[in-house]
Amino acid sequence: MISGIFKKINLNTQAKIGNDIHIAKSYLMHGQPVAIPTETVYGLAANGLDASSVAKIFKIKERPFFDPLILHTNNLDKVRGFVSHIPAIANKLAQQFWPGPLTLVLPKSTLVPDIATAGLSTVGVRIPNHPLTLSLLSLLDFPLAAPSANPFGYISPTTALHVHNQLGAKIEYILNGGPCSIGVESTIVGFEDDKVIVYRLGGLGIEDIERAIGKVHVISENENNPAAPGMLKSHYAPKIPLYRIGINNIEIFEKFTRIDGIDVANNQIGSMVFKDIMAEFPLNNQFILSPNGDLNEAAKNLFSAMRQLDNMPLKAIISEVFPPEGLGVAINDRIRRASVQ
């Protein structure tokens, strides 16, 4: 059932919001991108094996062509149809974590157009864990290229309304699957010279991966020539400058009273905190991501809180550094890329 607010919005804008996978399929079959839900974030999807459809994704997002895309499908047999082979260790990860927030970078077949992979010989692949999108993918004989459904570099969307507010005038249909259950993008894993490489931190914890296959190597970023999506140094950023501060940093207040043009006492600073308020800053501008101290809940609420702060009359946003464990690692990665520091 579509909420009343979505119905009202649809009267005045181009994009329709609904939960009909057959309508979404029709647009996709005719080369038109649609937004789809996943457990991580909403994606802007198009036929990943059709170069002209993929090109529309780049145009709508204003995304640079050197940043590769991820292909999404609904089962491992379909994956084998557009990659040249799957290493044994990759197959083990797929069997354990798919459907789920894991992307595997694999050698691509000739079916995958170069535009989808930025000319690389590999392609990122995943099976998302969202029932509506899995049902849609089961109707298609092609995978969906689907980066986050937002203007390039901006905060990723975790609801259909987020997509509508950002891209509603540029696409025809938004498949509404409710709020994303994880809220940060997938973890991206590749394989180089018998080594397992984590290209992007995300919704699957490093600890979970290492329990399955042993030690992995983490690459944090590659600003100029990314080997996988989400590796750019600056990404996921709000329009209002965002600053990171350390846990229990006693110089928080003094630091921000010295920034030119910012008045701490005049509600010009907003903040994102893990579970405890920052007494030095305006309480009505603070977003607690998890009052219970649950990093999974904090990850789910991260982009939504960042987006709400970005729509407030603020001059700066500050964020805590989160505990570096579980999804806290991915949260810190997103905050670092979104910050001005």
DSSP state letters, 244-274: EE-TT-TTHHHHHHTSTT--GGGT-EEEEES
Question: How distant, in Å, are the alpha carbons of 249, 272, 278, 295, 302 from that of 291?
Answer: 20, 12, 13, 10, 13
- Backbone φ and ψ of 105, nearest 5°: -95, 115
Does a cis peptide bond (omega within 30 degrees of 0) precede residue 99? yes
- Backbone φ and ψ of 288, nearest 5°: -90, 115
Distance CA(59)–CA(150), nearest Å, equals 12
Q: How many CB atoms lie within 10 A of CB 17?
A: 22
Give the distance, in angstroms, between the CA of residue 58 and the centroid of all CA atoms in the same chain: 16
> Which pTM was predicted?
0.87
Sign, CA dihedral 129-130-131-137, equals: negative
Distance CA(127)–CA(134), nearest Å, equals 8
What homologous superfamily is domain 242-338 in, according to CATH?
Threonylcarbamoyl-AMP synthase, C-terminal domain (3.40.50.11030)
**SS3 state of residue 30:** coil
Q: Within 13 Å and on the Cβ side, how many CA atoms surround 114? A: 3
Topology of domain 4-85+105-184 in CATH is: DHBP synthase (3.90.870)
Domain ranges within the chain, ordered by starting residue: 4-85+105-184, 242-338
Task: Note the pLDDT of residue 7.
Answer: 32
Q: How many CB atoms lie within 10 A of CB 22?
A: 9
Report residues of the chain scoring pLDDT below 50.
1-13, 248, 250
pLDDT in tens, 286-336: 999 999 999 999 999 999 999 999 999 998 898 989 999 999 999 999 999
- Pairing label, strands 217-218, 286-288: unpaired
Residue 71's closest CA among 112, 109, 129?
A: 112
Task: Note the pLDDT of residue 165.
Answer: 94
